[in-house]
Amino acid sequence: MEKIVAATQNKGKIREIDEITSKLGFSVISREEAGVPEDFDTDETGTTFEENSQMKAEDIMRITGMSAVADDSGLVVDALGGEPGVYSARYAGEDHDDAANRKLVLQRMEGVPEEERTARFVCVVTLVRPDGSKTVCRGTVEGHIIEEERGENGFGYDPIFVPEGYDRTFAEMTAEEKNGISHRGNALKALEEKLGNI
């Protein structure tokens, strides 16, 4: 099986990508294992998940000479006009503080009635091969934003997001439950389907 480098530095994503791909027909290695310098970071200047995902995968493919898969993802909240969107990691500032980001979303949604609290997580995975060919897959999960954080599992915005058809947040689910319905699970399943056996 061909080795694929996961371009992400986000530990929550790495854990989930490992859990999900270990059950699919391909496996990934970390940036560290592939020898990517720890301080290397792609400037996420794109305005879409697709653009940022592609930039991250191409950078890591170029550095390692190996196939690379990148995940660009975020939370899209209807009542906030689609924010935080592609700015999800740095919504409350450049330091990637998950707790501050969640707090800002809840604060900006104060007073928004239940039926207008709809949101979705989006994940775009891009696989880029050394020959330059690329495969792009988008996964989403619909849900709503609650008024106070609940749960300890997962990462990022999980404690404030309840997926459609459930009454628990992603942070109140096991990893297996979340991965079975999540944007990341859906995007990686779509990638496997597109690629067949890689």
Contact flag: residue 156 with ligand ITT (CB under 6 A): yes
Instruction: Put residue 196 in one of left, alpha, beta given phi > 0 → left and psi -120 to 50 → alpha.
Output: left
Out of 20, 144, 157, 185, name the contact with ligand ITT by CB under 6 A. Answer: 157
* Residue 78 designated active-site: no
- Give strand ranges (E) for 23-160: 28-29, 67-77, 118-128, 134-145
Quote the CA–CA distance of 22 and 28 in Å, as a whole number. Answer: 8
Query: Residue 47: phi, psi to the nearest 5?
Result: -110, 0
Out of 98, 138, 187, 188, name the contact with ligand ITT by CB under 6 A. Answer: 98
In whole angstroms, the minimum distance from the beta carbon of 94 to ligand ITT comes to 11
Identify the active-site residue in 39, 59, 71, 72. Answer: 72
Full DSSP string of 126-137: EEE-TTS-EEEE
- Tell me the site size for ligand ITT, rule CB under 6 A: 24
Full DSSP string of 106-146: HHHTTT--GGG-EEEEEEEEEEE-TTS-EEEEEEEEEEEE-
Cα R_g (the chain), whole angstroms: 17
Stretch that binds ligand ITT, among 2-10, 57-65, 103-111, 188-196 (CB under 6 A): 2-10
In whole angstroms, the minimum distance from the beta carbon of 90 to ligand ITT comes to 8
Which lies closer to ligand ITT via its Cβ, residue 50 or residue 192? 50
Which lies closer to ligand ITT via its Cβ, residue 26 or residue 120? 120
In whole angstroms, the minimum distance from the beta carbon of 198 to ligand ITT comes to 21
Contact flag: residue 8 with ligand ITT (CB under 6 A): yes
Out of 143, 154, 163, 185, name the contact with ligand ITT by CB under 6 A. Answer: 154
Q: Are 120 and 140 in contact (CB under 8 A)?
A: yes
- Give strand ranges (E) for the chain: 4-6, 28-29, 67-77, 118-128, 134-145, 161-163
Instruction: Put residue 45 in one of left, alpha, beta given phi > 0 → left and psi -120 to 50 → alpha.
Output: alpha
Stretch that binds ligand ITT, among 18-26, 67-75, 108-116, 126-134 (CB under 6 A): 67-75
Stretch that binds ligand ITT, among 8-16, 110-118, 127-135, 185-193 (CB under 6 A): 8-16
Binding residues (CB under 6 A) for ligand ITT: these are 8-10, 13, 44, 56, 71-75, 88-89, 98, 101, 121, 154-158, 170, 182, 184
